[in-house]
Amino acid sequence: MQEISITAEDRLSVASLSDVGCVRSNNEDSLGVFPSENPHKGVLLVVADGMGGAAAGEVASRLAVEAVAKTYFHGTTGSPGSALQSSLVAANEAIHEHAEANPEFQGMGTTCTAVAVIGREFWFAHVGDSRAYLAVGGDLVQVTQDHSLAAEFERQGGGAPAQARNMLTRCLGVRPVVEVDCSVSAQPLPNGGTLVLCSDGLTNLVQDGEILQFVTMHRPDAACRRLIQLARERGAPDNVSVAIGRHARD
């Protein structure tokens, strides 16, 4: 677990863990935790869940995390929200161009959820069905909106057919242009507030109330281990990845 100072009074306790699960032979998820010495950039957390034949999913998610971090810290200006949005757009271009240049990776894509913590606030950008949550005051709030066919059915008040469960309506890399959700203004991160980023390998098996219980009762590193253990106990047919950042004020 990392203890990262983000201001003279504020720090973020961060842990992340990824597991191949109980069925798959390779891990197509990628995680990144990136502290910065620039107080205007803060701490960046990223989770990506790749998809595609052979090793394409692994490549797509790795490229996403690398491109988001590089662009956010070195290639963008403006507000943190717009910087994150630009970073996911750059990641989409990098993945799509790599697939165009390498036929074996044609059609590869990935989800991507990125959160920047600066002082006592956070911003996010997001594409796909990985999620960001905020646990605070005994509640767990889903910060992001799933870009999946199942979620679209639910938002329209109908039940989703079984085949729609894992079908994405948006992801990085498949098309040359992508629409990115992002926070246009800062979101408050109270003292003790905990951010949770995870792939759907966790949320397909572990309920929101269980996530809240583990992140409330345990340190971020222990919470990551216990959440993944719970997913594995329930069969974990997919890769499972979690990144947790807990804010504390001196």
> What is the tens place of the pLDDT at every residue in 86-145?
999 999 999 999 999 999 999 999 999 999 999 999 999 999 999 999 999 999 999 999
Per residue in 155-166, pLDDT (tens digit) is 776 666 666 667
> For the whole model, what pTM was predicted?
0.95
DSSP class of residue 138 equals T
- Nearby residues of 101 by Cβ (< 8 Å), 6 or more positions away: none
pLDDT at 75: 80
Please give the pLDDT value at position 54. 66
Quick one: average pLDDT of 16-23? 98
Which position has the token pair 């991160």?
189
Report d(CA 30, CA 112) in Å as an integer. 9
Ordered by where they begin, the domains of the chain are: 2-249 (3.60.40.10)
- Answer for the pair 187, 119: CB distance below 8 angstroms, yes or no: no
Place of tokens 């890399």: 173
> Which among 36, 151, 32, 50 has a CA at the least distance from the CA of 105?
50
